């Protein structure tokens, strides 16, 4: 699997150029390009593999710097596998009033990219806010998964569309779960799903952060004498994998997200496909 850093320029024959990044004492990012002239001539794409706003802003400042030195818009295409702030896709008057997705979209739109390629955005709102946004065909990823499952499970209503897409790609039936979330506290309860005893299922969603949704759903599946594997496009796993591994034998995710430990994960390379996709 090709290694991709947090910030990558993609040039002719999909060659990747990686800048050197560190920080000034006041926290400002310092970025160096050893092959500036070659990038200015040969690269037209920027791939940013990170959910952190600091990395995203450093990448955008690098586009400004490169365009300024070259005196033209060198970077015409942005690959953003995971959109920073994707889950903060509306202001909630009774909870979180931040609207980071709109903020990120405004920054991206200011650069006038000809294409912004993303993978499995959290909601349709991203396409409404980001100009020239294109979704990478997730069927290409789902087709690499095992087709011998009893079925694909959507953990909640928000995952139904992508789970159905995965089920269709694998020619499998789709099962639908549900849960109750307290908007004010974020507490999850009331997990429900009906599966067949002895079945082997694949739970599919876009993001795993703390894992509460998947633990609650997985317990319901096991209560019915079935078992499951887990696939998430963007594996944050902020609480690690220990509790998830007690329920799911195999945990699949892509290399869309910058993690420090992938040892318990089955990684699927999505970045090479995105780099070559036009």
> For residue range 147-188, what is the model confidence (pLDDT) as tens digits?
999 999 999 998 999 999 999 999 999 999 998 876 666 677
Task: Return the residue matching tokens 């706003």.
Answer: 53
Residue 98 · residue 88 · CB < 8 Å: yes
Report the DSSP beta bridge partners of residue 17: 9
Give the pLDDT confidence score for residue 148 in this predicted structure.
Answer: 97
Indicate whether this model's pTM tops 0.85: yes
Task: Return the residue matching tokens 């946004």.
Answer: 133
Positions of CATH 3.40.50.2020 in the chain: 7-135, 139-270
Residue 273 · residue 136 · CB < 8 Å: yes
Give the DSSP letter of residue 233: E
Cα separation, 170 vs 150, in Å, equals 11
**Strand segments (E) across 156-271:** 174-176, 178-181, 188-192, 200-208, 227-235, 248-254, 266-268
Tokens of 34: 């050893």
Cα separation, 243 vs 233, in Å, equals 19
| Secondary structure tally for the chain: helices H, strands E | 9, 16
Widest CA span in the chain: 64
3-state secondary structure of 201: strand
Q: At what angle do helices 100-110 and 53-70 cross, to 10 degrees?
A: 10
Report the DSSP beta bridge partners of residue 200: 227
Write the CB contacts of 27 (distance below 8 Å, at least 6 apart in sequence).
none
Looking at domain 139-270, its CATH class is: alpha beta
> In the chain, which residues have pLDDT < 70?
1-3, 12-14, 182-186, 260
Side-chain-facing half-sphere of 121: CA atoms under 13 Å: 25
Phi and psi torsions of 29, nearest 5°: -75, 135
Write the CB contacts of 255 (distance below 8 Å, at least 6 apart in sequence).
1, 4, 49, 267, 268, 269, 270, 271
- The fold for domain 7-135 equals Rossmann fold (3.40.50)
Angle at 126 between CA 31 and CA 3, to 5 degrees: 40
């Amino acid at each position: 699997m090709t290694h991709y850093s947090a910030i990558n320029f993609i040039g002719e024959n999909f060659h990747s150029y990686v800048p050197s990044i560190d920080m000034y004492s006041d926290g400002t990012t310092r970025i160096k390009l050893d092959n500036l002239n070659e990038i200015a001539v040969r690269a037209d794409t920027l791939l940013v593999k990170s959910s952190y706003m600091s990395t995203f802003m450093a990448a955008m400042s690098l586009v400004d710097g490169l365009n300024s030195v070259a005196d033209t818009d060198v970077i015409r295409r942005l690959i953003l596998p995971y959109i920073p702030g994707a889950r903060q896709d509306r202001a909630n008057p009774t909870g979180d009033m931040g609207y980071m997705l709109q903020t990120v979209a405004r920054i991206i739109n200011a650069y006038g990219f000809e294409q912004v390629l993303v993978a499995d955005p959290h909601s349709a709102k991203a396409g409404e806010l980001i100009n020239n946004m294109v979704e990478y065909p997730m069927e290409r990823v789902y087709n690499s998964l095992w087709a011998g499952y009893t079925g694909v499970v959507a953990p909640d209503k928000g995952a139904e569309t992508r789970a159905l897409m995965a089920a269709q790609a694998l020619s499998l039936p789709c099962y639908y779960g549900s849960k109750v979330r307290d908007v004010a506290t974020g507490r999850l309860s009331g997990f429900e799903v009906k599966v067949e005893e002895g079945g082997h299922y694949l739970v599919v969603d876009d993001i795993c952060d703390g894992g509460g949704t998947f633990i609650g759903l997985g317990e319901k599946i096991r209560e019915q004498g079935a078992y499951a594997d887990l696939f998430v496009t963007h594996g944050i796993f902020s609480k690690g994998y220990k509790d998830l591994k007690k329920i799911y034998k195999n945990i699949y995710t892509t290399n869309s997200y910058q993690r420090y430990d992938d040892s318990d994960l089955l990684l699927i390379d999505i970045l090479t496909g995105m780099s070559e996709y036009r």
